[in-house]
Structures are given as C-alpha cells and as structure tokens.
Amino acid sequence: MKKILLMLVLTVVFLSSVGMVASKGMESSDFDDPSVCRGCHSDIYDQWDGSLHSASYTDPLYLKLEEIASEETDGLTDDYCTKCHTPIGVLSGEVPPIGLDNPNLGEISKKGISCDFCHSVNGSTGIGNGAFTVSPDGTKRGPHDDSKSPYHKTEFSDLHTKSEFCGMCHDVSHPVNGHPIETTYTEWKEGPYNTGDPKTATYCQDCHMTPGITQFESNPGKSTSMGPEREHIYTHYFVGGNVAVPVLLESEVHRKMAEDRLKSAAKLKLEVSDAKAGEEAEIKVKVTNIGAGHKLPTGLTEAREIWIEVIATDSEGKKIFHSGELDENGNVDPGAVMYHTVLADAEGNPTLKVWKVESTISDNRISPKETRIETYHFNIPNDAKSPILIQAKLNYRSASQELLDLLLGKDTVVSPVLEMASQAKEIGAGGVEASETPGFGIILSVLGIVAAFFFSRGIKSI
C-alpha cells in the first residue's frame, strides 16, 4: 500500500510540474535535432556540444546513479529525475525505461537539454522539479524581440533572460516529503546578487552564458550567420563547477572553462603568528566566496566537496602538521574543514542516495560574498628546523570518492582533486612570507578518469 501511495504522489507531482506530457500526443520528432539548428547557429551549436547540458542524459555517472535509484525504488524515480535530464525523452514517452539501451529512446532524446527544448519552453508553473511548459509548435522563443528566420517563427521571451528559467530545473526537492535536495536557484534568490532591480541584479545567465567567468561580460556578435550584429549574444557553454564529466567526454574547452570558473570563485588568505620550535603555532585561514552567485559548492552538494588542506613542514621537509589529507581510500580526513551538505535517510544515517533523503544533518557551505575564518593550532616539535613552512589550500572535487566507488566500483577511478586557491608563509623566522599563490593548481587523475569512461560504458550493474 505504501508503494502504491508513493507511485501516486510521484505521478501527481510529475504531471503538475511538467505541464505538458506524452498523453497530449507529443513525440520527439516534434523537436528539431540540434544538428538542424547548427545550420544557422554554428557557433552556438559548437559551444553547446560537449557541455553538461548536451550530456545531461548520456553522462555515465548520472546514468549509473539513476539505474541504482530505479532499481531501489522499483522505477518510481524514473520520470521524476529524467524530466530535467532528457525532457524530450520524458515528454514523448520514450523514457522510462532508463538507460541508453532503451529501444524506444530516439536520438533527439539522447541529446539531453538541447536547443529546441529550451527554445520551445513557453512558460513556467513555478520553481524546481522540472516546472516548465513546452510547446513544440515551430516557434522558437528567446531573448530578442526583433529576430527573423526563414526557417521558423520567433517570439521574444522575457523568461529566457531571467534566473527563473534556470530555476525550473536547478532547484530540486524530494517529490514525497518535499525536503530540499538541490537549491541553486533559491541560494541565488536569497543572496546579494538578486537585488530585485533588473538594472542591478546579476542573473544566472549573466555569469553562465557570457564570456565573463564570474560576472557579466558583453559578447558582441551574431546569433546566426545571416543575422544582424548585436551588442550582446548569450554564449551556450553552460559551464559550472564540474571538471570530471568534461574529462570523460573529452571536451577540453569545457574542462578548461570549469577550471577557470573554480579558480575565480573563491579567495584564500593565510594569517600566521610567529612561533618557533617548542611553541604552539596558531594560524587562521580565511575563505571568501568572491565569484559565485550561489553557495559554494552548489548542486549535488552531498557529493561535491570543498575543503581546506593545511600542511606544515620544517626546513628539512619533515611534516609537522597536516589537516585535510586523503587517506588510502581517497577519502578526506574526517577532521578537515569541509564545505558541503550531509543528508540523512529515515533512520538519520548519512546517505548519498537522494531518493532516501528525509533530513539534513549539516550544511556548512559558503554563501555568496561570505567569509569564513578557520583557526588551527599545533605544536612545533623541539627538534624542528626553522623556518617552518605553512601551506594552505582550498581543494575541490566534483564528486566524492565515496560516490564514485558506489557508482563504478571500488578502485576503478580516482576522483580528481582541484586546487582552487592557495597561499604559503613561513614562521620561526619573523613570519616572513614564503609565497602567495592565490591561483589555481590542478591534480587530475587522468588515467583513472579515462578508465572510468570505458568501464562505465561496459558495465551494466553494480
């Protein structure tokens, strides 16, 4: 009885939020394949191709997680999750079942969040859980009120220029208990970049659809090969903080852009008080969210990790203190300062399986423009050789090692660690600063990532 009730709830939520479903006779062939759009919009197509939107359904990590969810819920999550990952597939009734081996899945549906889906959206029923309405009537809706095309009708859509367009999918709550799971739009709405005034507000598109990494930057050019020159054309790279998947997709452009975005999202400042051998050292690490209009991290925050790593070594290279290191299983030191969320199931146990979530144990993420100050104390051994080098790093992973082990099997892939910012100073010699590198370093486990790509294509179940 409980399972039947859950199915009814999920069905009602799905039907009410999507607004237009397959029962109205919609087919995937009602939408243009992105290759058709490429004929006139070649630059925009090339930007989209290889993006997380283009791979929103074929992403092997997403598919494995969705397969597990489907199996553990007897398919109850199939429509719910996929309506934002392959909206055309769901609207046409080609999905479920889940997976690329689905014989009903058409080529257009495989292409995730594609051109004609977004530009056929004609309204919204609210925020989150796929709250879009769609009309594939041949009219393409977008940000220009003077567009003309020999191929299709055009229509200005103010919705396409606002964060509410993105918020239809980039807020996710549990379909049964309503518990928040992903809150990217809400974080923006409640943050300082949403001033309430269109003239001063910074919308999602201003950062994620312009050349500016963390702020609006105009992009003069043409939307089409035959169109007029415009002061600004939105880009379609849709880059966020995911580096791992572009590596899997061999999309070097999107990988590099994601690195640059992470590099510009936060600032780290190291403060030290001078101390010598035999004394206690105190250091402070200040981390500021300087570039994200939402919290750091955002999205799948129970899996994503941002943490501080602090290392102290003497002049002979002897390690004195280390917080935030990885253990032999690739997991972060449990005593490290970690910025992420911990979700819990019905028993109150931490879980990465969002379909089981009923509460939040903790949320230690950094809000827009917020500064966190973390303090560390450690004793300097009597035999330590001065000066003592203190290094502080802000590290990031798109997915925890625990999640990758769950999806692909233990010892299959090493989750790549990115250094967002760092700074180093010396103590024991008057507090002389050794170096300051608030830039961006990267440690990519390339062989592991490539192995995961091939492994995930061949694996059918965990």
Read off the pLDDT of residues 214-241 as tens digits, 9 standing for 90 and up. Answer: 889 999 999 998 889 999 999 999 999 8
Higher pLDDT, 142 or 440: 142
CATH of the domain at 269: 2.60.40.10
The enclosing H or E element of 308 equals: strand 305-313
Domain membership flag for residue 241: no
Is the pLDDT confidence value at 244 over 50? yes
Residue 243: the pLDDT is 86
Domain end point (choices 208, 224, 246): 208
Strand 266-272 to 280-289 pairing: antiparallel
State yes or no: cis peptide before 60, omega within 30 of 0: no
User: What's the mean pLDDT in 274-300?
Assistant: 95
Residue 224 maps to a domain? no
- The pLDDT-based confidence of 299 (bands split at 50, 70, 90) is very high
pLDDT at 25: 64
Residue 372 bridge partners (DSSP): 287
238 is a domain residue: no
pLDDT at 21 over 60: no
Co-location of 322 and 184 in the same domain = no
Any idea which of 22-31, 266-275, 296-305 has the lowest mean pLDDT? 22-31
Residue 68 CA to residue 423 CA, distance in Å, equals: 41
Banded pLDDT at 212 (limits 50, 70, 90): confident
Residues contacting 48, CB < 8 A, separation 6+: 34, 54, 114, 115, 236, 237, 238
Query: 29 lies in a domain?
Result: yes
Instruction: Return the beta strands (E) in 240-292 as ranges.
Output: 266-272, 280-289
- 257 has a pLDDT exceeding 70: yes
Same domain for 182 and 271? Answer: no
Same domain, 202 and 270: no
Beta strand spans in 44-138 (E): 121-124, 132-134
Residue 22 has pLDDT above 90, yes or no: no
Are 198 and 278 contained in the same domain? no
Query: Which of 89-103, 114-128, 241-255, 435-449 shows the lowest mean pLDDT across its residues?
Result: 435-449
Residue where a domain terminates, one of 184, 208, 232 = 208
**If pLDDT is split at 50, 70 and 90, which confidence band does 121 have?**
very high
Does residue 14 carry a pLDDT above 60?
no
What mean pLDDT is predicted for residues 196-212? 94
Higher pLDDT, 305 or 411: 305
Final residue in a domain of this structure, among 176, 208, 240: 208
Q: What is the pLDDT of residues 380-421, one digit of tens each?
A: 999 999 999 999 999 999 999 988 888 888 888 888 899 999
Cα–Cα dist 450/462, whole Å: 19
Average pLDDT in the 99-127 region? 95
pLDDT at 17: 43
Q: Which amino acid is at 459?
A: I
Say whether pLDDT at 19 is over 90: no
| Residues 69, 150 share a domain | yes
- For the chain, the domain total comes to 2
Domain span at residue 392?
259-458
